[in-house]
Amino acid sequence: MGNRRVGFCLSEKKKKRMNLSAFAELCRQRGIEVVEIDLSRPMASQGPFDVIIHKLSDVIVEAEHDSQSQSLLSNFQEYVSMHPLTVLLDPLPAMTQLLDRFASYHIMNKLQNSLRDRGICSPPYLEISTSNQSAIREAVEEKQLSYPLICKPRVAHGSHSHEMSLIFCPAGLSDAQPPCVLQSFVNHGAVLYKVFVVGEAHFTVERPSLKNFPLGSFARKTIFFNSHEVSKPESCSHLTALDENMPRLPPPSEEVMVALVRELRAELGMVLFGVDIIVNIQTRTLTIIDINIFPGYEGVPQFFSSLLSHIESVLESRGTAPPSSPLPP
């Protein structure tokens, strides 16, 4: 049957956050060898690999203007094209499109058409590529976006991607830094649901989020914030503080979540991703606000077992399954 080998291509930060050494030990107990791929060396000398798990977001973004990153990416792409039987989690084109919020919002918009009967939607949005204020105002009116607007950078990766703003009136549009996306803000009771997907499995984790704001245009200075700081499990911000009398909405039903994840997996062709959803306090509509590549899986203790289970099903389909034995606790 030969060795079963899984290659990991992750940044140092991601490896630590994921605790790759602990996962590698779990794999070894199941007869699967884990190899950390070094992109600065020829990959052929490090292979062969049955499966490669990667998050090359840094490399993909930097390759646009950095020759060293371009070289690392080419090394990876060359290996993948020469070894078509190696399963990639996830395919590069699928991941690349999610690094661009213009592309990912287009996907979200498309999804709402097939999920509308499930009470799922995504807010109206606008791609901004110009600094021309009159053109931006005109486009906001034409698209019938409602204030407040949430403004997000086009590139959905790196620390800058979390720097966002809430714009309350047309005058505030001058604070939008193109290229960016404007999205109608939806009041959601300061609760965000992060749905983490691992193959067939998904897990929903509740996080803090932005508080409610009066709807409609009114003169107020733009609020700048970092979405990471607002929605971390331990976040405590004046931007997430709700009125005491605000009733809590019930979380989304599992049936609806299953339908959403099924549609997303089919549309994206991906195995490791997350989706951020909120519940509109006025309409109770489930609202998709972002899709994330290979997220942190914080608050998902079943991540390792689910990922290992998916890897084993991939190996089995390739005829390289490890002998059957119970998963360690």
Domain boundaries, the chain: 4-90+303-317, 97-293
Please tell us whether the domain made up of 97-293 is placed in CATH 3.30.470.20.
yes
Is 209 labelled as part of a ligand binding site? Answer: yes
pLDDT along the chain (329 residues), means of 10: 83 91 94 94 92 92 88 92 94 93 92 86 94 95 96 89 94 95 94 94 94 93 91 75 73 91 94 95 92 93 95 83 43
Is 6 within any annotated ligand binding site? no
- Does residue 162 have a known ligand-binding role? yes
- Identify the pLDDT of residue 323: 43
Q: List, as one string, the DSSP characters of 98-143.
A: HTBHHHHHHHHHHHHHHHGGGTEE---EEEE----HHHHHHHHHHT
Q: Do the annotations mark residue 190 as ligand-binding?
A: yes
Task: Say what the pLDDT of residue 319 is.
Answer: 67
For the CA atoms of 88, 271, 185, 298, the dihedral, rounded to the nearest 10 degrees, stands at: -100
185 is in an annotated binding site: yes
**Residue 231 annotated as part of some ligand binding site:** no
**What one-character-per-residue DSSP string does 37-91 give?**
--TTS-GGGT---SEEEE--HHHHHHTTT-HHHHHHHHHHHHHHHH-TTSEEES-
Fold (topology level) of 4-90+303-317? Rossmann fold (3.40.50)
| pTM for the model | 0.90
- The reported pLDDT for the residue numbered 45 is 93
The pLDDT score that the predictor gives to residue 329 is 40
Neighbours of 43 (CB within 10 A): 22
187 in a known ligand binding site:
yes
Tell me if 276 is assigned to a ligand binding site. yes
Q: 15 a known binding residue?
A: no
Is 238 annotated among the ligand-binding residues?
no
* Per-residue model confidence (pLDDT) at position 228: 84
Tokens of 43: 């990959």
What pLDDT, on a 0 to 100 scale, did the predictor assign at position 247? 72
User: Is 194 known as a binding-site position?
Assistant: yes
- Is 7 marked as a binding-site residue? no
Q: Do domains 4-90+303-317 and 97-293 have the same CATH topology?
A: no
Judge whether 70 is annotated as a binding position.
no
Q: Tell me whether residue 202 is annotated as binding.
A: no
To the question of whether residue 101 is assigned a binding role by annotation, the answer is: yes
Residue 183 is labelled as binding a ligand: yes
